[in-house]
């Protein structure tokens, strides 16, 4: 299979028709080998218009959704970007490709390792992407503040500990979804020390699994 040609068709057939127009992002989607961020058995489906299940309740977001979320985030060259629940690192690699200085945090080492070959083959600038093991919901406070925080998946809410790592005027992009509901991509901002979010677009077609690290654990209530 000619994956370079398949990525070109992915961009022309899935991404452009869905209002992704930023030429930097389109170029990154063509250049970053999405097929190398999934297990070997899934590579033939990696460029299809679908989420790919990676195990443990985690998915690689479908190309159109992650492209629209990155365009909403508007990563700029030189900005300090924190990607949490980064999984294999595909979204982080796209943002590093457009010139952002990216730290990708993932708490599942096996999931992060899926992206080793993809990151190595992505032609990223030296130092553009650094990966870190840790809790996605906790972020990486020792590196704060960040110009942009990108949550690569669906969450019921943004923890204050994470939004508090934004710089003044900083942005946060995530998929917000309550249990048993369809999700929406949201853009958050920190202004005058206050963080707030606004809905940007709906996530069509399916209920994405909530990221485990952001989901409240069941407990016992005393009576």
pLDDT in tens, 35-75: 999 999 999 999 999 999 999 889 999 999 999 999 999 99
Any domain includes 223: no
- DSSP codes of every residue in 160-178: HHHHTTEEEEEEEEEEE--
Q: How far is residue 4's CA from residue 9's CA, in Å, rounded to a whole number?
A: 9
CATH number of residue 81's parent domain: 3.40.50.150
Domain range for 154 is: 3-212
- The reported pTM is 0.94
The model's confidence at residue 208, banded by pLDDT at 50, 70 and 90, is: confident
Cα-based distances in Å from 106 to 85, 111, 141, 163: 5, 8, 14, 17
In a domain, 218, yes or no: no
Question: How many independent structural domains does the chain possess?
Answer: 1
Are the C-beta atoms of residues 15 and 21 closer than 8 Å to each other? Answer: no
Tell me, yes or no, whether 176 lies in a domain: yes
**pLDDT confidence of 216, banded at 50, 70, 90?**
low
H or E element, residue 83 = strand 80-84
């Amino acid at each position: 299979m000619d994956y370079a040609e398949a990525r070109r068709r992915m961009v022309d057939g899935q991404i452009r028709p869905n209002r992704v127009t930023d030429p930097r992002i389109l170029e990154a989607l063509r250049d970053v080998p999405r097929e190398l961020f999934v297990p070997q058995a899934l590579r033939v489906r990696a460029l299809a218009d679908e989420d790919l299940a990676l195990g443990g309740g985690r998915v690689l977001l479908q190309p159109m959704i992650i492209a629209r979320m990155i365009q909403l985030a508007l990563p700029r060259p030189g900005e300090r970007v924190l990607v949490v629940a980064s999984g294999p690192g595909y979204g982080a690699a796209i943002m590093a490709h457009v010139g952002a200085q990216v730290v990708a945090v993932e708490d599942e080492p096996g999931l992060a390792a899926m992206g080793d070959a993809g990151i190595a083959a992505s032609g990223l600038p030296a130092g553009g992407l650094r990966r870190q093991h840790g809790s996605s919901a906790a972020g990486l406070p020792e590196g704060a503040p960040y110009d942009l925080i990108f949550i690569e998946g669906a969450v019921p809410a943004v923890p204050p500990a994470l939004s508090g790592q934004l710089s003044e005027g900083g942005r946060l992009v995530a998929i917000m979804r309550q249990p048993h509901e369809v999700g929406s991509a949201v853009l958050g901002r920190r202004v005058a020390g206050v963080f707030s979010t606004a809905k940007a677009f709906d996530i069509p077609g399916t209920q994405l699994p909530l990221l485990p690290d952001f989901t409240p654990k069941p407990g016992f209530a005393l009576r």
